[in-house]
Structure 1
Amino acid sequence: MDKQYLVTKSNYFIMNSSYDLSLEEQKLILTLASMVQPTDEEFKPYVFKISEFMELLGVDTKTKYTEIPKITKELMKKVFEIHEGNSILQVAWLSSARYEKGSGKVTLKFSPDLKPYMLKLNNMFTQYKLANILNMKSKYSPRIYEILKCNEFKQQGYIELEVEELRKLLKTDGIYTRYNDFKKKVIQQSQKELKKLSDIDFDFDEIKTGKKITSIKFYIRENSHDGRALNKTNKSNKSNKTKNTYDEISATVVPYEDVSDDMGIKKVQDMLKGHRVGPKSAKAIYENAKGDIRQIKKVYEYSKTQKIKSLVGFMKAMVVPGALEESIGMPRQLSFNNFSQRAYDGSDGGMTFDELEKKLLGWDE
Structure 2
Amino acid sequence: MAEVSSDQLSLPLFEGDIKPSYWVNQSTTLINAIQDLTITERRIIYTLIALVQPDDKDFKKYVIGVKDLAQLLEYKGNAIYKQVQNAIDGLMGKQLVIHSNDGNQDIVDKIQWVQHARYEMGTGRITIQLSDGLARYLLNLEKYAKYRLYNVLRLSSEYSWRIYELLKEYEWKKERIIRVDELRKLLSIPDDKMKLMKVFRKTVLEKAKAELKEKTDIEFKYEVHSKAGRNIESFIFYIDKNKKFKRPQIELDSLREDMESIIHTLIRQGIRRDAAEKVAHEYDYQYVDANLRYVLSLDSLEVKNKAGYILTALEDNYAGFDGPAKRETEDPMKSLFIGQTIERLKAKTEKDNKSLEGLYKLFEKRLLENHDINLKVFQLQRKEAFFERFDVISEDRRKQKHPPLLKADINHTTIAELFEEWEQIGEEVY
Deviations, residues 53-88 of structure 1 (Å, cap 9, x unaligned): 222334333211110110111111122311132200
Distance 1:223 1:71, change over 3 A: same
Alignment equivalent of 1:133, drawn from 129, 145, 152: 152
| Equivalence for 1:302 | 287
Q: Cα deviation per residue 1:31-64 (whole Å; 9 max; x = unaligned)?
A: 1111111321211101111111222334333211
**Larger Rg belongs to:** 2
Give the one of 227, 248, 251 matched to 1:229.
Answer: 248
Which letter does structure 2 place at the counterpart of 1:106? Answer: I
Q: Residue 61 of structure 1: SS of its match in structure 2?
A: coil
Residue of 220, 223, 229 corresponding to 1:205: 223
- Look up the match of 1:239: none
Structure 2: which 5+ residue stretches go unaligned?
A: 1-17, 296-305, 327-430
**What's the offset of the Cα at 1:30?**
0.6
Checking the alignment, whether the CA contact within 8 Å between 1:203 and 1:218 is kept in structure 2 is yes
The structure-2 alpha-carbon separation of the partners of 1:280 and 1:112, relative to structure 1 and needing over 3 Å to count, comes to closer
Q: 2:108 aligns with which of 80, 88, 104?
A: 88
Paired position in structure 2 for 1:18: 34
Q: Percent identity?
A: 30
Which residue matches 1:107?
127
- Check whether the contact 2:263–2:280 (CA below 8 A) recurs between aligned residues: no
Is the Cα–Cα contact under 8 Å of residues 162 and 216 in structure 1 kept in the other structure? Answer: yes
Greater helix proportion: 2
Distance, in Å, in 2 between the alignment partners of 1:25 and 1:31 is 10
Alignment of 1:262-277 (within 5 A): none
1:271 Cα deviation from its structure 2 partner = 12
Q: Please say if 1:164 is aligned against 2:191.
A: no
> C-alpha deviations, 1:166-214, integer Å up to 9, x for none?
0001111332111111111111111111111111111111122322111
Between the aligned partners of 2:280 and 2:25, the Cα distance in structure 1 is: 28
Deviation at 1:305, TM superposition (A): 3.4
Worse-superposed segment, 19-28 or 52-61 = 52-61
Query: What amino acid is the match of 1:209?
Result: A
C-alpha RMSD of matched pairs (Å)? 3.1
Q: How does 1:222-301 map to 2 (within 5 A)?
A: 222-226=241-245, 229-231=248-250, 246-248=254-256, 299-301=284-286
Partner of 1:61: 77
**Distance verdict in 2 for CA 1:304–1:272, change over 3 Å:** closer
Q: Distance in 2 between matches of 1:211 and 1:129?
A: 39
Q: Which residue of 1 aligns with 2:9?
A: none
- Partner secondary structure for residue 249 of structure 2: coil
Query: Relative to 1, partners in 2 of residues 1:300 and 1:78: Cα closer, same or farther, differing over 3 Å?
Result: closer
* Structure-2 separation of matches of 1:228 and 1:29: 25
1:216 to 235, 254, 275: 235
Question: Quick check: 2:59–2:129 contact (8 Å CA) kept in 1?
Answer: yes
What is the match of residue 116 of structure 1?
Answer: 136
The 8 Å contact of residues 198 and 228 in structure 1, kept in 2 or not, is answered as: no
- The answer for the alignment partner of 2:55 in structure 1 is 39
Where does the alignment leave 5 or more consecutive residues of structure 1 unmatched? 235-245, 251-268, 287-295, 328-365
TM superposition shift of 1:280:
8.4
In structure 2, how many angstroms separate the alpha carbons of the residues matched to 1:107 and 1:181?
41
Offset at residue 90 of structure 1 (A):
1.2
Q: How many residues align?
A: 280
Q: Aligned-pair distance for 1:304?
A: 2.3
Residue 62 and residue 164 in structure 1: after superposition, are their counterparts in 2 closer, same or farther (change >3 A)?
A: same
Per-residue CA deviations over 1:222-269 (Å, capped at 9, x if unaligned) read: 2233355233889xxxxxxxxxxx43376xxxxxxxxxxxxxxxxxx9
> Normalization by structure 2: what TM-score?
0.58
